[in-house]
Amino acid sequence: MKYFYSSFILTFLGLVAAYFLGGFIAVYICILLIILEVSLSFDNAVVNARVLRGMSAAWQRRFIIYGIPIAVFGMRFLFPILIVSIAADMQMIQTLNLALNNPDEYHNALSNNKNQIYIFGGAFLLMVFLSFFFEEREIKWIGILEDNYLIKILTKSKNIILSIAILAGIVLIALTQNPTYAIAYFSAVLLHLGLEMFDEMFSTSGVKSGIMGFLYLEVLDASFSFDGVIGAFAMSQDIFIIMIGLGIGAMFVRSLTIYMVRQKILESFIYLEHGAHYAILALAIIMFIKVFHEVSEIITGTTSLIFIALAFIHSLYKRKSHG
């Protein structure tokens, strides 16, 4: 439980603040938003743990100390404002004023530009999955997909990840016929490639570059938060209530990440990270589908939980079968 003390403290402070902002109704909405964030981002915790365990102990601490205000205030408050500002061609101050004083209009601006947000997030998550899927590793989960002759050949190609990403982007752009979507998609691809390139440059002796790993985790967190930020407006128009609820949820996800790293959960449940990455692929696909059709957050969260649960159960079975 010690890994979650800070999350419970933040929950208490956040719910008190929510009460003064809107009474018991605001507290109830915050609780729903916490559940929404955790259900949508559980696979994020697993992938975070995979990255974090390769970083130094100092940067693991910084992930919590510095990462929380970034996750709560930056990714759940400022980042959506920045996205709306860029997509709607508005000044940052103007967008901030809109969010604070006219939440209905801000929500409309966010909704009108949500397709670019979904495409950016979906493209980044697709790159995360492809990097994992074509990584050479001993442990395989779904053998028919991960351990066949074609995949073994493709894994040896240095450009296979980028090639698949470009092909998927071409198909998406051909279907949408929108140059703005193309910019959003390939910006995410380039961002992922850039983070990986700099990480390789600064990593030493098998320990990931602290600053690059930290930035990678923050962008990953943002990609997972898009769904929650947009879906949160169905529960509240108050941007501060949304920030409190989603921020507390993000804190629990980070506490869960630290717990997984310290307790070596990924080493004990060997298929968990596989399940998380398949959940990421599902989320990326759902984000692309949302450009054309509305998909409920319930479906998104349930899909992720199914992959995680299956991987957990299979890992547990594997442990028992090997004593």
Task: Pick the range with the lowest mean pLDDT from 25-29, 39-43, 203-207, 222-226.
Answer: 203-207
Q: How much is the CA Rg of the chain, to the nearest whole Å?
A: 20
Alpha carbon distance 274, 277 (integer Å): 5
Arithmetic mean of pLDDT over the chain: 82
Percent of the chain topping pLDDT 90: 14
Model confidence at 77, pLDDT cuts 50, 70, 90, reads confident
Whether the predicted pLDDT of 39 surpasses 80: no
pLDDT given for residue 21 in this prediction = 86
Whether the predicted pLDDT of 168 surpasses 90: yes
207 phi, psi to nearest 5 deg: -95, 125
Mean pLDDT for the stretch of residues 45-59: 80
pLDDT given for residue 7 in this prediction = 85
Highest mean pLDDT among 39-53, 146-160, 179-193, 203-217: 179-193
Write the DSSP assignment of 154-170 as a string of letters.
Answer: HHT-TTHHHHHHHHHHH
pLDDT given for residue 196 in this prediction = 79
Task: Pick the range with the lowest mean pLDDT from 1-5, 123-127, 177-181, 272-276.
Answer: 1-5
Rounded (5°) CA angle 117-110-307: 45
Q: Can you read off the two tokens belonging to residue 119?
A: 């495409």
- Report which of residues 13 and 81 the model is more confident about: 13
Q: Can you read off the two tokens belonging to residue 8?
A: 């419970």
Whether the predicted pLDDT of 164 surpasses 80: yes
Whether the predicted pLDDT of 56 surpasses 60: yes
pTM for the full predicted model: 0.82
Whether the predicted pLDDT of 210 surpasses 70: no
Number of Cβ atoms within 10 Å of the Cβ of 240: 17
Whether the predicted pLDDT of 158 surpasses 90: no
Model confidence at 215, pLDDT cuts 50, 70, 90, reads confident
pLDDT given for residue 323 in this prediction = 56
Mean pLDDT for the stretch of residues 4-17: 88
Model confidence at 137, pLDDT cuts 50, 70, 90, reads confident
Model confidence at 203, pLDDT cuts 50, 70, 90, reads low
DSSP 206: T
Alpha carbon distance 149, 139 (integer Å): 16
Amino acid at 110: L
Mean pLDDT for the stretch of residues 199-221: 68
139 phi, psi to nearest 5 deg: -85, 125
